[in-house]
């Protein structure tokens, strides 16, 4: 099956150049002080002339299986269920791409959404919530997400009130939408302390949010309760929990490996986290300082993750976070 045959493009995205792909998968994740704060403004995407601000983001819809697919634009990958009887989105990116998603979601035809599910609180996964809110029955997330969104907004240099989920759960959540069953589950603190995994059971498609970074150095949000040690066991639990033939949607991925995959991709990420913790633990035991430990340009043994030193290279942040975690435990 040629995936290109199934490629549905947003009307706003006439072509997908190599450069655009690079921008799509290679951009650093938006995180930190601005995570819950105001996001870039939407701009006109119609045909009435050139855009007033930034160029229209490159966006893409790709069907995967049984009315479930994914959307890429700017920020964390959006998963979707779009059937004649149900419409669900997993994550909302930013206001501008959320508006494009709602306009062009295949088969929506102006219908309201049954649910929006946030995999966690970060602004590049929830920044479009305000665009979805008027057209969705509910916004669902883990119980820790509303407080984490509000705390991130407070830390922002120009605080704005975020659109928080109205329906939360501590451990698991399940709902029938049309002829599909959607189940979400919280494991342990990992990327943050509010990450859930969403499973469209009949389609057998699993959205991991940022619990899996596919062949890129991950972001860990320690201020929001993220921990590498329990992230490692969470990733192992995911592989044990969901079927081996599930199609996975990841929050972020490298240009080469993309944002979908399966258990081998998840295990590759597991191996990186295990090696990172092993390396930092060994260096601490050898009496090295944090400055010495965080000096590596790239992590040996994982060439798929390697990127030039600079702002797009998060290895020093990973090493520092692992140091802080291990030195304090
Ligand atoms: Zn995130």
Q: What is the pLDDT of residues 215-239, one digit of tens each?
A: 999 999 999 999 999 999 999 999 9
The DSSP H or E segment spanning 142 is strand 139-142
- Distance of CA 191 from the midpoint of ligand 1 (Å): 7
Distance CA 173, CA 38 (A): 29
pLDDT in tens, 58-112: 999 999 999 999 999 999 999 999 999 999 999 999 999 999 999 999 999 999 9
- Distance of CA 223 from the midpoint of ligand 1 (Å): 12
- Distance of CA 177 from the midpoint of ligand 1 (Å): 26
- Distance of CA 194 from the midpoint of ligand 1 (Å): 10
What pLDDT shows up at residue 268? 98
What pLDDT shows up at residue 57? 87
What pLDDT shows up at residue 173? 98
Class of domain 3-43+55-327 (CATH, top level): alpha beta
- Distance of CA 36 from the midpoint of ligand 1 (Å): 11
Give start and end residues of each alpha helix (H) in the chain: 18-26, 95-104, 123-126, 129-132, 145-155, 228-241, 263-285, 290-293, 315-327
Strands (E), 12-114: 60-65, 68-72, 78-82, 87-90
- Distance of CA 75 from the midpoint of ligand 1 (Å): 9
Any idea which residue has 């792909």 for tokens? 21
What pLDDT shows up at residue 205? 98
- Distance of CA 97 from the midpoint of ligand 1 (Å): 17
- Domain ranges in the chain are 3-43+55-327
- Distance of CA 85 from the midpoint of ligand 1 (Å): 30
What pLDDT shows up at residue 39? 32
Cβ burial, residue 318 (10 Å; 0-12/13-18/19+):
buried
What pLDDT shows up at residue 206? 98
- Distance of CA 168 from the midpoint of ligand 1 (Å): 18
Q: Tokens standing for 18?
A: 């190599």
Nearest CA to 196 out of 124, 236, 141 is that of 141
What pLDDT shows up at residue 83? 97
| Buried/exposed 228-258: b ≥16 CB within 10 Å, e otherwise | bbbbbebbbbbeeebeeebbbbbbbbbeebb
- Distance of CA 31 from the midpoint of ligand 1 (Å): 7
- Distance of CA 45 from the midpoint of ligand 1 (Å): 27
Question: What pTM does this model have?
Answer: 0.85
What pLDDT shows up at residue 54? 67
- Portion of the chain with pLDDT greater than 70, in percent: 84
What pLDDT shows up at residue 52? 55
- Distance of CA 210 from the midpoint of ligand 1 (Å): 5
Q: Point out the residues of the chain with pLDDT beneath 50.
A: 1-51
- Distance of CA 304 from the midpoint of ligand 1 (Å): 21
C-alpha distance from residue 68 to each of 179, 238, 307 (Å): 12, 20, 32
- Distance of CA 170 from the midpoint of ligand 1 (Å): 19
Any idea which residue has 């006439």 for tokens? 14
């Amino acid at each position: 099956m040629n995936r290109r045959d199934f490629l549905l493009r947003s009307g706003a995205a006439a072509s997908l150049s190599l450069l655009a792909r690079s921008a799509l998968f290679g951009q650093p994740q938006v995180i930190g002080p601005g995570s819950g704060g105001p996001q870039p403004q939407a701009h006109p995407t119609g045909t009435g002339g050139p855009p007033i601000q930034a160029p229209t983001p490159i966006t893409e819809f790709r069907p995967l299986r049984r009315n479930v697919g994914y959307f890429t634009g700017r920020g964390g990958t959006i998963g979707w269920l779009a059937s004649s009887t149900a419409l669900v989105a997993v994550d909302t990116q930013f206001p501008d791409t959320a508006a494009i998603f709602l306009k062009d979601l295949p088969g929506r035809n102006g219908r309201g959404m049954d649910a929006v599910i946030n995999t966690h609180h970060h602004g590049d996964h929830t920044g479009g919530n305000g665009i979805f809110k008027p057209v969705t029955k509910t916004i669902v997330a883990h119980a820790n997400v509303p407080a984490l969104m509000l705390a991130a907004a407070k830390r922002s240099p120009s605080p704005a009130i975020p659109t928080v989920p109205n329906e939360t759960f501590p451990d698991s959540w399940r709902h029938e939408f049309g002829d599909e069953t959607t189940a979400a589950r919280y494991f342990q603190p990992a990327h943050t302390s509010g990450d859930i995994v969403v499973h469209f059971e009949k389609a057998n498609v699993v959205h991991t949010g940022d619990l899996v970074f596919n062949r890129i150095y991950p972001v860990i949000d320690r201020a929001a309760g993220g921990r590498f040690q329990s992230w490692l066991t969470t990733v192992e639990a995911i592989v044990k929990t969901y079927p081996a033939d599930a199609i996975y949607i990841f929050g972020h991925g490298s240009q080469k490996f993309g944002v979908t995959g399966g258990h081998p991709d998840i295990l590759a990420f597991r191996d990186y986290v295990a090696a990172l913790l092993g390396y930092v633990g060994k260096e601490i035991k050898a009496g090295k300082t944090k400055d010495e430990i965080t000096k590596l340009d790239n992590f040996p043994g994982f060439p798929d993750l390697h990127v030039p030193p600079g702002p797009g290279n998060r290895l020093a942040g990973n090493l520092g976070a692992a140091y802080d975690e291990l030195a304090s435990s």
